[in-house]
Amino acid sequence: MLTDIEIAQNAKLKNIKEVAGKIGLSEENIELYGNHMAKFTDEYINSVADKPDGKLILVTAINPTPAGEGKTTVTIGLGDALAKLGKKSIVALREPSLGPCFGVKGGAAGGGYSQVVPMEKLNLHFTGDFHAITSANNLLCAVLDNHLLQGNTLGIDPNRIVIKRCLDMNDRALRNIVIGMGKRMDGVVREDHFVITVATEVMAILCLSTDIFDLKKRLGNMIVAYTYANEPVKAEALGCVGAMTALLKDAIRPNIIQSLEGNPAIVHGGPFANIAHGCNSVRATRLALKSADYVVTEAGFGADLGAEKFLDIKCRLAGLKPDACVLVATVRALKYNGGVKKADLNEENLTALSEGIVNLGKHIENIKKFGLPVVVTLNRFVSDTDKEIEFVREFCESKGAMLTVSEVWAKGGEGGIPLAEAVLKVLETEKSNYAPIYDAELPIKEKMLILSKEIYGADDVIYSKEAENAIAKIEDMGYGNLPICVAKTQYSLSDDPTLLGRPEGFKMNIREAYVSAGAGFVVLISGSIMTMPGLPKSPAAERIDIDDDGNITGLF
């Protein structure tokens, strides 16, 4: 059996100019990055601004497990299936981060015969967007530390600096560091920190900005530190926002590549959903909606993270109105939620399935709370039995959701036709009544309580003293009416990764809070979630190589 990278390397890719032509683009509408990747030009983006929107379909999933769910795979396969049915469709995805590529999770190009390509370039450096974001963020940090050394006329308290340096890599040793060691001109000695690039506010800002001017304004509004008088210092006060914007001039333009079946895919931006807002860029989604009749997009991890943030943050801020939602699950993952060990997931176990399927049930309920029609799809494995699939079908019907079986990993778009037909039927027969789950004007704690009870299923929320003080300061500064972005584990509806299925009787624990004033949301950190992940004992980096013919191997 071929690996994902072998399938991708054996594919005959079309010239990106031909792929772009499927949605009416000419060579003048794109800037080429070789034969198979391109960026949209600003002129084209502006030219389609007044076109009517296509249908927006969100793909999300149950809580991820070691058994795998295949959300990106289904997203790409659904796009290809719609194309096979003669629909003008496009997928809109996030860009992969190098951290998980070399860690545990791997890349984010899909899998099997449902991938976007060129797979290796996408998963590694792509068009350089993440490098630009890293550079812009670290430029701001460098200018801030230079300001401290050169007299600190803004009165910044070195112990109240909140901007952190970043790196697009899992490197736990950089979480807490001391900088400025050495001679006087080497800088002011202070404690500093690194986060992974996808957790930075610069990434969030790029993904939520409508254009380069909005980007510049948002960058300037970033709170980077507080003075000795406890007043916020914004990035604009340091005088480098213009330079940061210049670094991001090309990165803000969405990228276009193709699926294995030669259909267009817009890939842009990539905040994690467990530590950031988990969606591709507003520009990418809006551009897709103007370029196709059906847009299939995804949000990171389970519906309690990516979908919630897509619906409560991105859609609210960007004025997007999704038309339907696809919820991805696997029989294996549901049995895992029912207590089956990973090694035993290939065996039929209806008892465990009945115990673990409550996770799927909660996610169906949650999506319906946002007013969206929902279609459930099982990403099929060869070990799935007819009895198990029928059990899931009956369960979904009892929840008012249609079930389809997806075989896009093995069959590409052909394996997604039942799903595509179900989605088209839902779009024709059910109306979306999308609305966010909470009113943004409510106090921060009230919003968190609503989210915790309605989406996570918690009884209450507990705050550390540090979080209490931070929330009070955020509201005092006038940012209490922003949406909230909860950083929590992806493995459970709760903030405890060991609580599988549908936990009840638990409390959410908020240990830290801060405002991303430029992005436009308040971040609440729950549990032990880390904004700079670490590598596992045996990272994927140990298995990635280049063979004698110059081909990359081991990337997945």
Beta bridge partners of 527: none
Mean pLDDT by 10 residues, the chain (556 residues): 88 96 93 97 94 97 87 96 97 93 83 94 94 98 98 97 96 96 94 96 97 98 97 98 98 98 96 90 97 96 96 96 97 95 93 96 97 96 93 96 95 97 97 97 98 98 97 97 96 96 96 96 91 90 89 86
Give the other-Cβ count within 10 Å of 250's Cβ: 15
**DSSP assignment of 466-513, as one string?**
HHHHHHHHHHHTT-TTS-EEEE--SSSSSS-TT--SS--S-EEEEEEE
pLDDT value at residue 100: 86
Residue 79: what residue type?
G
Catalytic residues: 71, 73, 94, 105, 273, 301, 381, 409
pLDDT value at residue 409: 93
Contact 321, 359 (CB under 8 A): no
pLDDT value at residue 68: 74
Evaluate if pTM is beyond 0.85. yes
Contact 332, 434 (CB under 8 A): no
* Residue 117 in tokens: 């390509």
Query: What phi and psi, each to the nearest 5 degrees, are found at residue 361?
Result: -60, -40
pLDDT value at residue 66: 85
Q: Tell how many helices (H) and how many strands (E) occur in the chain.
A: 21, 25
Q: How do strand 507-516 and strand 232-234 relate by DSSP bridges?
A: unpaired
Which 8-state DSSP code applies to residue 25?
A: -
pLDDT value at residue 258: 97
Query: What phi and psi, each to the nearest 5 degrees, are found at residue 118?
Result: -75, 120
pLDDT value at residue 553: 87
Chain center to CA of 8:
23
Alpha-carbon distance of 292 to 491, in angstroms, equals 34
Q: Which residue has the tokens 């986060």?
A: 195
pLDDT value at residue 106: 77
pLDDT value at residue 260: 97
Nearest residue to 278 via CA among 303, 300, 262, 258: 300
Nearest residue to 167 via CA among 524, 531, 528: 531
Alpha-carbon distance of 258 to 274, in angstroms, equals 27
Listed in sequence order, the residues at least 6 apart from 509 whose beta carbon sits closer than 8 Å to its beta carbon are 461, 462, 464, 495, 526, 527
pLDDT value at residue 531: 87
Nearest residue to 490 via CA among 267, 357, 308: 308
Beta bridge partners of 509: 462
What is the C-alpha R_g of the chain? 23
